[in-house]
Amino acid sequence: MSTARRSSVRRVVSRGRPRRLLFGALVSFFGYLALAILAAQQQLFALDYGTRDWVRLLRYEALQLPMELVTSLGGLGLIVLIVVALPILWRVNRRWAVLLPVLMAGTGALQWLTKAAAGRARPDQAPWGFPSGHVLSLVVFFGLMVHLIATASSRRRRWRILASLIAALPVVVVGFSRLYLDRHWLSDLAGGLTIGAAYLLLAIWLVEVVFTRPTNPTSDKTSAREPDA
């Protein structure tokens, strides 16, 4: 194996950020896999029933419409968010601006595959309950936004943390709306969160580690030593 090839392999699986991305993706995937096996066997947790009973106590007729509007953020509203995000991303990170539609199209395919494989009904007995597609899609979209904000070096750390929390808030709010409207069990939301995180982390690893050409320190040093003409 050539020196350049060995260097490339070490970069892909080396310590630090690449390894953290891979480790996070694997942990999320195995967490999802455990939930998916139970979902395929039509198993539910006591926490699912307990959460459903607790949410029922919070229901008021005046909140029905607001919750339906909130939950649309994970459906048609997400298309609007993508359209709005694209020109902003184009100015900040053109690579992700180009790849965002591909990433979200893959999310749609992943939803179909995972729901068909599990075949678990929703709390209201409608089909295709596990995992929550709304949570899966929003975790991928807003998770990418959080990643780009958190890795931005031009902003102070506290502002990056605040922006990341704001970006993560819609996932929590929409997830609660799915429980409120009796469209998902809590474990459905957990399934969407884990498979969405695994998919996103793997995508970031592929785009920013595997398919990104590393800078060559040796050539940089050589260039620096060359005298100006």
CB-based contacts of 111, cutoff 8 Å, min separation 6 = 131, 133, 136, 137
Q: Is the pLDDT score of 202 beyond 50?
A: yes
Q: Which two tokens stand for residue 104?
A: 């979200």
Q: Is the pLDDT score of 222 beyond 50?
A: no
Other beta carbons within 10 angstroms of residue 45's beta carbon come to 14
Question: Where are the strands (E) in the chain, listed by range?
Answer: none
Question: Among all chains, which residue has been given the structure tokens 């965002």?
Answer: 100
Report the pLDDT value the prediction gives residue 15, as an integer from 0 to 100: 52
Report the pLDDT value the prediction gives residue 221, as an integer from 0 to 100: 44
Q: Is the pLDDT score of 99 beyond 70?
A: yes
3-state secondary structure of 127: coil
Cβ proximity of 12 and 210 under 8 Å:
yes
pLDDT tens digits, one per residue of 161-186: 888 888 899 999 999 999 999 999 99
Burial class (CB in 10 A: 0-12, 13-18, 19+), 82: middle
**Average confidence (pLDDT) over 185-198:** 96
pLDDT tens digits, one per residue of 52-66: 999 999 999 889 999
**Average confidence (pLDDT) over 188-213:** 93
Higher pLDDT, 62 or 224: 62
Report the pLDDT value the prediction gives residue 220, as an integer from 0 to 100: 43
Phi, psi of 32 (to 5 degrees): -65, -45
Report the pLDDT value the prediction gives residue 215, as an integer from 0 to 100: 53
What is the residue-averaged pLDDT of the chain?
Answer: 86
Closest CA to 131 of 175, 66, 67: 175
Report the pLDDT value the prediction gives residue 10, as an integer from 0 to 100: 47
Q: Give the separation between CA 104 and CA 179, rounded to whole angstroms.
A: 24
How sure is the predictor about 83, in pLDDT bands with cuts at 50, 70 and 90? very high
pLDDT tens digits, one per residue of 73-82: 998 899 999 9
Report the pLDDT value the prediction gives residue 213, as an integer from 0 to 100: 64
Q: Give the separation between CA 32 and CA 132, rounded to whole angstroms.
A: 12
**Percent of all residues in the chain with a pLDDT value above 70, rounded to a whole number:** 84
pLDDT tens digits, one per residue of 104-145: 999 999 999 999 999 999 998 899 999 999 999 999 999 999
Q: Give the separation between CA 138 and CA 118, rounded to whole angstroms.
A: 20
Report the pLDDT value the prediction gives residue 87, as an integer from 0 to 100: 95
Report the pLDDT value the prediction gives residue 5, as an integer from 0 to 100: 47
How sure is the predictor about 11, in pLDDT bands with cuts at 50, 70 and 90? very low
How sure is the predictor about 43, in pLDDT bands with cuts at 50, 70 and 90? confident
CB-based contacts of 84, cutoff 8 Å, min separation 6 = none
- Cα angle vertex 114, ends 49, 51, to 5°? 15
Q: Which two tokens stand for residue 217?
A: 């320190």
